[in-house]
Every structure is written in C-alpha cells, then in structure tokens.
C-alpha cells in the first residue's frame, strides 16, 4: 500500500462514499398494497399450515388410541382364551370338582395327571 493510501483518512473516504452512495430507483406507488396482499396470502397459508398440523396431530392421536384399543381387546381375548386355562391348572382340585362331573374320589388327590385335568376342563367347557 502506498504512503498516499495511508494518508487518505477514514473521514475523507467516508465522506466520499457517503456523498456517492448509490441511490436505488424509486419504489412503485403500489408497493404497500402489494405487500398487504402478500401478507394476507402468507397469513392464510400459515392458517392452512396450522390446520394441517393440527389435523395431523389429531389423526396421529386417533391412530394411537385405536391401536391401544385393539391391543387391549386382543390382550383381553388372550387372557380369556389362554391364561384362564393356565390359571385353572393352578386352582385347587376342590374348585375343579365343583365345576366338573367327576366324582369326589377322583379328585381326592391333587391333580397330577394332565389328562385328568384336561378332561375336567373339557367337561367344564362343554
């Protein structure tokens, strides 16, 4: 950089640039009206976006609730159809006796033989 360059003060440079600052062409008179229209469109769009977003959230919640309901129903069916049988297996033989046509003597000893138990359950379900 030359000595002259260094001597050229910031003030002179600033004054030159300020004086010769490029001036933009004037804005059309209808610019504000155009802006209002644009903002209106944007606001409408933002409402549409919000509605779409809420719709998405609601449908997601509904889908989750439906899945939970189906799950509960399935689990209930599973409990009724499967777990109950297993629970019966753990019941004291005296209770099975009440629900079966087997004689008391046949139930005097604990249920050890699965075939006897299965027979009891089959009889009960019939």
Partner 1 sequence: MIHSIDQKITQFTDGECCGFRELYEKFSGPVRGLLYRIFPQCSLDDAVQEVFVKIWKGLPRFEGRSSLKVWIFQIAHRVAIDALRQGKNKKVESILEEIEVPSEEHRMIHQNWVRHLLGEFSLEHRSVLVLFFMEELSLEEIAAIQEVPVGTVKSRLHYAKQKMRESLEREGVL
Contact indicator for 84, 74 with CB cutoff of 8 Å? no
Q: Does 17 bind partner 1 (CB under 8 A)?
A: yes
Q: Does 29 bind partner 1 (CB under 8 A)?
A: no
With CB under 8 A as the contact rule, the residue among 1, 29, 98, 126 that binds partner 1 is: 1
- Angle (nearest 5°) at CA 43 between 39 and 45: 115
Residues 43-82 as x/- pattern, contact with partner 1 by CB under 8 A: x--x------------------------------------
What the block records as the tokens of 42 is 């944007």
In angstroms, give the least distance from the CB of 67 to partner 1. 37
Q: Which long-range contacts (CB under 8 A, 24 or more apart) does 113-122 make?
A: 117/89, 120/96, 121/85, 121/88
With CB under 8 A as the contact rule, the residue among 31, 55, 109, 124 that binds partner 1 is: 31
């Amino acid at each position: 950089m030359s000595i002259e360059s260094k001597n050229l003060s910031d003030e002179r440079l600033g004054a030159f640039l300020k004086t010769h600052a490029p001036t933009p062409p004037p804005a059309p008179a209808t610019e504000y009206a155009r802006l209002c229209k644009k903002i209106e469109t944007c606001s409408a769009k933002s409402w549409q976006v919000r509605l779409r977003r809420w719709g998405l959230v609601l449908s997601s919640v509904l889908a989750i609730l439906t899945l939970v309901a189906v799950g509960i129903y399935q689990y209930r069916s599973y409990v009724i159809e499967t777990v109950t049988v297993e629970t019966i297996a753990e019941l004291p033989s005296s209770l099975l006796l009440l629900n079966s046509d087997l004689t008391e003597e046949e139930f005097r000893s604990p249920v050890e033989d699965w075939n006897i138990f299965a027979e009891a359950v089959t009889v009960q379900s019939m």
